[in-house]
Amino acid sequence: MTDLARLLGPIDIYLLDQILKGRIAPGMRVLDAGCGYGRNLVYLLNEGYDVWGVDLNPEAVATLGDPGRFLVAPVDRMPFPDAFADVVISSAVLHFAEDEAHFAAMVREMWRVLRPGGMLFARLASTIGLEDELVSLEGRRFALPDGSDRFLVDAAMLERCTEELGGEWLEPLKTTVVQGLRSMSTWVVKKA
């Protein structure tokens, strides 16, 4: 393993981009909503950031070590006070929403714990670029060409959501289509 791989871990490249742009900086409190085993937290932990997380998987949370900072809890009901974090990360979590109400509850909760001026960084599955390849199941749930079943957003939904939250786009919406099997979009907004 190279020194760089040890330092960064398997961090999402779009999250690393936000670090390089200075939007996630030392001294900020970072909350990973749906942290799993902490794949996006290796660099932040190595560099001494004030990192917190929640996930529904107790085994994953236990591997992160600090039970005071990493908690077993759902993203739509996090045990943190209002305006708790400078940055909220949600990577590959929101597309597990059961329906639109569940998606909205998760987003509202992440927004609640985000301080004014803070950044929400989300990577989630979308319909963008795969519109003709998806099979509609119910509401915003689709069967993807990769065989999975996901809650999918589109650009209009994220624009509407950003407006309803009173957020401000920090980055244009970016989407990667992965070999025609799934589509992952990056939503980066600031809380006014």
Q: How many structural domains comprise the chain?
A: 1
Which of 165-168's residues contact partners 24+ apart within 8 Å by CB, and which partners?
A: 165/107, 165/111, 165/189, 165/191, 166/191, 166/192, 167/111, 167/120, 167/191, 167/192, 168/192
Q: From CA 73, how far away is CA 132, in angstroms rounded?
A: 36
Look up the CATH number of the domain holding residue 125.
Answer: 3.40.50.150
- List the one residue out of 34, 5, 7, 175 whose CA is nearest residue 107: 34
The token pair at 92 is 């590959």
Task: Indicate the Cα dihedral angle 11, 55, 104, 145, nearest 10°.
Answer: 60
Q: Which domain holds residue 23?
A: 3-191
The token pair at 69 is 């900072």
Give tens-digit pLDDT for 55-94: 999 999 999 989 999 999 999 999 999 999 999 999 999 9
Q: What is the pLDDT of residue 1?
A: 67
Q: How confident is the model at residue 177 (pLDDT cuts 50, 70, 90)?
A: very high
Residue type present at position 169: W
Q: From CA 56, how far away is CA 134, in angstroms rounded?
A: 28
Report the SS3 class of residue 102.
helix
Give tens-digit pLDDT for 94-147: 999 999 999 999 999 999 999 999 999 999 999 999 999 999 999 999 999 999
Does pTM top 0.85 for this prediction? yes
